[in-house]
Amino acid sequence: MDYLVVLFWALVGSVFSLIGGLALLSNKKVRTIAIRYGLPFGAGALLAAAFLGVLPEAIEESDVHEAVIYALGGFLAFFVLERTLGWFHHHEHHHHDEVHGGKNTTHQWLVVIGDTLHNAIDGVALGAAFLVSPAAGIGTALAVAAHEIPQEIGDFSILLGKGMKPIRVIWVNIVSALATVVAALATFALGDASGFNPAPLLAIAGGFFIYIAASDIIPDIHEKPRREGNVQALMLLVGVAVIAWVISLTAHAH
């Protein structure tokens, strides 16, 4: 039963969010709104998952000093990856509905590989969270889903703009999304069998979530015109509140 629970929530955080992205992709106006306001909502969700879910659990399973060192390590590791691999995060493209540059197969696959790595890390975080508690796992899954829906819409737009055929875009993104499911189940199974302490993985994932929100999305909000930026800031706060409420609700339920 535990594995089925992890499987279900991993699907919520990956494939189900992908389906949500597909549903929004067909309408350009809706797509633009989803990216513009969905990304800050997802950033808030990730911040809440980090500070109210995975980091407190990591501290509880180890100690404060060890947890914050791993969290800082995770933050810096993804900073270095972004600087050296360039394509690991491509959120800056997600804020533009039109993608220029024409067909470019190399760019197509760099986006796909980067997104698959991102999804796999989400899966590790999700599996590690479920090793600690259902509340942490569910909160993490919903935060990942909130972030993934607008991100997947951006990915679709980029890949279509780079010349990939629509049906291929769909299948490539389904396979990429399954990396979350595989990584979540593998992490949970490994932890369940060996009994290793998931605290370092949780802390690293917390650093990863904070990095995405703080480096990619929050600076973009500050660059927007005041009215649009204020609405995006509000959406970020709503994302924090929603995931905080979910974590609190699931914690009391268990």
Give yes or no for residue 108 having a pLDDT over 80: no
Contact at 8 Å (CB) between 149 and 21? yes
For the segment 113-160, what is each residue's pLDDT rounded down to a tens digit? 888 888 999 999 999 999 998 888 999 999 999 988 888 777 777 787
Q: How confident is the model at residue 85 (pLDDT cuts 50, 70, 90)?
A: low
- Listing DSSP states for 55-75 in one string gives HHHHHHHS-HHHHHHHHHHHH
Q: How does the average pLDDT of the chain come out, rounded?
A: 85
pLDDT for 94: 45
Dist CA 238 CA 246 (whole Å): 12
